[in-house]
Amino acid sequence: MVVGSGIAGLTVALHAVQHGCRVTLVTKDVLEHANTRYAQGGIAGVMFDDDRVEDHVHDTLVAGAGLSDPAAVRVLVEEGPTRIRELIALGVAFDRAADGQYVKGLEAAHSYPRILHSGGDATGTAIEKALVATLRASDVRVIEHAFLVDLVVRDGRVRGVQLLVGDHVATATGPAVEGYRETVDADAVVLATGGAGELYAHTTNPAVATGDGIAAALRAGADVSDLEFFQFHPTVLAVGDSFLVSEAVRGEGATLIDEHGRRFTFDAHPDGELAPRDVVARAIAHQMELQDGRPVYLDATGLRPTEAERAEFLARRFPTIDRAVHERGLDWAKEPIPVTPAAHYLMGGVTTDLHGRTTIAGLYAVGEVARTGVHGANRLASNSLLEGAVFGARAGDVIAADAASGTWPSAAPRAAHPSRDALVVALDERVASGERTPFSRTALQQLMWEDAGLVRDDEGLAHAEAVIAEWRAAARGPVTEAEYEDENLLLVADRLVAAARARTDSVGAHYRRDAAVSTADDRMVAAVAAGGAAGC
């Protein structure tokens, strides 16, 4: 049983069925609607003769601020090219230059332009379409509009899933549909449910990213780790609905400027706009504070000599972004466009080994829902699609043997910050004695944005912890899909805040303004040195 239909889930299903498994894939929306389809930046891999595995490994370790697992990074980088060629064989047409060679893309914190794109900025869509078409032609059974309510655990092993099937809210195209509960048995369950971007008021994620897999794993007793590391993308359009502007735009030479036209990111890092994402996002947030909250600007007006040449280049290289920019009444060939950070990617998740096995027998996790160790404290740009393909294939390849063996290998590493029952938390005095804030998803998202977002401190985290505990203590009895999602978001928010309070120093995407001294640089240097000495 595979839960989720992004690159990780689809890859698991296709590999498992090739090994003789009878596979059912369930997804909470239609098959094509997953985070993968929104990925603009591309997929990183050592696909060119003048690139080196060691360089991609080094870049990943540096971006991870010393907290990546070197062994996991080695697997990601060494097996990545095979998985990319597999996607090509399935029909993904990566962009080629006039000479027939693949177009090289550069993104932040990469030492080499190793990013492949398809359709300019539609890489995720191209990958999703190819994998979905292959899956529909396979023997994999598909259940759409099936929401994961919980995992079925018997005798210490995951034995299946509880689903809520067909629960729809009324839309312009159809009436509301009441769902029904169904329990489906399985020898192995793979969580490929994506992240939890809906925790935050501003996010690049679609509405389906509500942390369902992480919450189900927590309730089943699985280890989670690194939930405090939530990556905020630096550049999201500050006009209209949130829309991500790919890092590849800055890779092509676009700059970030304040409201007076000054390039400010070099104040934070010598690589300026191409510094690691967490650095650039905080630099933007700091500049916005200096500007009383007004957005900064992404300036692409220097990419070509004339406005006509720029307009043609931007429309050809970034067709999806170009369309979104113009839909908002902006013209980035003529003038800079306003941007702001937004929640983007969860580096932590359900703790796994290098084959997706969790700490509970029969349960696997792949993709953004999993904590494989490759991202550390900060994901390197365009490593996410690669992770889904590499570790999805690895899980799919071992499931049949694991199920047939009747045993479970040694447990994956235990979580760094043990989970605890959030219902037994003393409420903050300000909440206990003051006016209660009624729960709503919007209220939770705003609370997380303000107290557990891009910049944190213990006072804000303690406040968030207390409010979330109060909300969780109020029994609601979820019935609909949206109500189950709210419960999942509350549980994941609780554990994220607890992990953020427990990590008192600043490292990577976890930035605390009250940290005395950050040891991130020391960790990074030590990890890179150890990785090199041990062959990662």
pTM reported for the whole predicted model:
0.88
- Residue 460 in this model has a pLDDT that exceeds 60: yes
DSSP string, 22-62: --EEE-SS-TT-SGGGG--S-EE---STT--HHHHHHHHHH
Crossing angle of the two packed helices 7-18 and 123-136, in degrees rounded to 10 = 30
Residue 243 lies in a domain: yes
**How many domains does the structure of the chain reveal?**
2
Judge whether 421 lies within some domain: no
Strands 230-237, 370-371: pairing kind: unpaired
Domain boundary among 289, 315, 341: 341
Q: Are 41 and 248 in contact (CB under 8 A)?
A: yes
What band does 275 get if pLDDT is binned at 50, 70 and 90?
confident
Backbone angles phi, psi at 341, to 5 degrees: -75, 160
What's 286's domain CATH number?
A: 3.90.700.10
The answer to whether residue 172 sits within a structural domain is: no
What is the C-alpha to C-alpha distance for residues 254 and 351, in angstroms, rounded to an integer? Answer: 37
Tell me 510's DSSP state.
B
Q: Is 265 inside any structural domain?
A: yes
Please check whether residue 294 lies inside any domain of the structure: yes
Least confident of 237-251, 302-316, 421-435: 421-435
Strands in 157-165's sheet, in edge-to-edge order, are: 146-154, 157-165, 180-185
Q: Which amino acid belongs to residue 474? A: A
What is the torsion angle, in degrees rounded to the nearest 10, for the CA atoms of residue 222, residue 225, residue 228 and residue 230? -90
- Within-domain flag for 390: no
pLDDT in tens, 480-523: 999 999 999 999 999 999 999 999 999 999 999 999 644 444 55
262 is catalytic: no
Given this model, what pLDDT does residue 290 score? 95
C-alpha 376/C-alpha 363 separation (Å) is 22
Where among 279, 312, 341 does a domain terminate? 341
Phi-psi region of 424 (alpha: psi -120 to 50; beta: other; left: phi over 0): beta
Q: Which of 130, 410, 120 lies closest to 251, judged by CA?
A: 120
CATH code: domain of residue 450: 1.20.58.100
Last residue of a domain, one of 278, 308, 341: 341
**Helices of type H across 36-163:** 53-63, 70-89, 123-136
Cβ proximity of 231 and 219 under 8 Å:
no
CA atoms within 13 A on the CB side of 162: 12
pLDDT single digits (tens) 159-215: 999 999 987 655 555 666 778 999 999 999 999 999 999 999 999 998 999 999 999
Give residue 270's domain range.
235-341
Q: Does the structure show a pLDDT above 50 at 256?
A: yes
- Helices 70-89 and 520-533 sit at what angle, rounded to 10 degrees? 70
Of 83, 159, 250, 277, the catalytic one is: 277
In-domain check, residue 285: yes
Question: What is the full DSSP assignment across 227-259?
Answer: TT-EEEEEEEESSSS--B--HHHHHTT-EEE-T
Could you report the per-residue pLDDT of 338-356, keeping only the tens digit for each? 999 999 999 999 999 999 9
% of residues, the chain, pLDDT over 70: 89
- CA distance to 169, 171, 185, 481, 494, per residue, from 175 (Å): 7, 6, 31, 16, 34
| SS3 label, residue 512 | strand
CB atoms < 10 A from the CB of 56, how many?
26
Is residue 242, in this structure, part of any structural domain at all? yes
